[in-house]
Structure 1
Amino acid sequence: MKLKTKFFGIAIFIVILDQITKALFRDVNYGIFNSVTNTGAAFGIFKGNVFVLGLISLFVMILLVYYFYKSPALYLPLAFLLGGATGNFIDRMFLGFVRDFIDLKFWPIFNIADSFNVIGVIILGYILITAQEKHL
């Protein structure tokens, strides 16, 4: 399978998974599931600025695709980040807010897109740090 197909396939899978879970847990408030809306970004920054967040998200998504073509070996973390960014972008543009529903009580409420964003950053950080250590 071509790397390009894997990259976009993973990102699309994450978007679909994110949107399905947000729809399924829309009105659920039980256990670790607590449906809320977020008009800001992580930890509420830019709260209420849907247009600004939309522009930032669009810019980030374009950069992620650009970096995939520039560094295809980073396809997995970049696909995770693209899928996560796109899932939340869809919410912002069509709903005016992001739907969050996973409530671990000790952390801000989040969703599947957020999870893949964090996993993508961790993998990308690991790859970049270990690559840098090899050159020391």
Structure 2
Amino acid sequence: MRTPESAPHFPEAPENQEPLRQLEVRVGSATDALTPLSRATRSFAATRAQWLALAAIALGAVVADQVTKHVVASHLRLGEGLHVVGPFTIRHVENSGIAFGLFSNATAAVIVVTGVAIAWMLAYFARSGARHPVLPVALGLVIGGSVSNLADRVRLGFVTDFLDFRYWPAFNLADSFIVIGVGILLAALVLSEREPRAPAAR
């Protein structure tokens, strides 16, 4: 029989030795692996307030674009222009393509691509609307401009352009909203990349 004195002795770890760290297992998409654990488990789904903000901005963009197009089409004949200042002229132009007169002979393809793009943006906002505070504004402008031009293409087969700066194809407010929204998204992306990152927790 083995006495207590003969029991095997296991050396204790030195006091200054760090305890074994618990292995963290991350389950999710590849993008989750690029974020800290505390953020990977966070929900970025858009809130009701963010949806309301996006809808209000998109609706405002649609109304502003449609009203200005109606005013131009009602007061200027096709091709007629009203000089404002310098190279800027308000000119009534019909465009069957996308922004700035591109792809003018591919109306059906433009309608399909625009519809797919709008659906993708809405799906992205639904799951990621809380990732950045500017998303409701930026995507609201892009979606509003896209919807307004899409409605004209489906209803009329073309959109009305009227902002003519002589050295660039004429465009409308919807085109401007799309460009501004994309610009806000890019600026937010660049600024977020420049923000100092907190050191990883040990």
Query: Under a length normalisation based on structure 1, what TM-score does the superposition of the two structures give?
Result: 0.92
TM-superposition CA deviations, 1:91-117 (whole Å, max 9, x none): 111110111001122222110100101
Structure 2: distance between partners of 1:89 and 1:135: 40
- The match for 2:82 among 15, 24, 30 is 30
Letter in 2 for 1:8: A
Shift of residue 39 of structure 1? 1.2
When residues 97 and 128 of structure 1 are mapped into structure 2, their CA distance, relative to the original with a 3 A threshold, is: same
Structure 2: distance between partners of 1:83 and 1:43: 17
Shift of residue 70 of structure 1? 2.4
**Does the aligned pair in 2 maintain the 1:18–1:113 contact within 8 Å?**
yes
Structure 2: distance between partners of 1:109 and 1:97: 13
Which structure has the greater CA radius of gyration? 2
Match of 2:116 in 1: 59
Shift of residue 120 of structure 1? 0.4
Query: Under a length normalisation based on structure 2, what TM-score does the superposition of the two structures give?
Result: 0.63
Match of 2:177 in 1: 116
- Runs of at least 5 residues in structure 2 that lack an aligned partner in the other structure: 1-47, 84-88, 198-202
Shift of residue 25 of structure 1? 0.6
Is 2:142 the counterpart of 1:81? yes
Percent of pairs with identical residues: 34
- The match for 1:5 among 32, 40, 52 is 52
Shift of residue 48 of structure 1? 2.0
1 or 2 for the larger relative contact order (CA 8 Å, sep ≥6)?
1
Q: Secondary structure at the match of 1:105?
A: coil
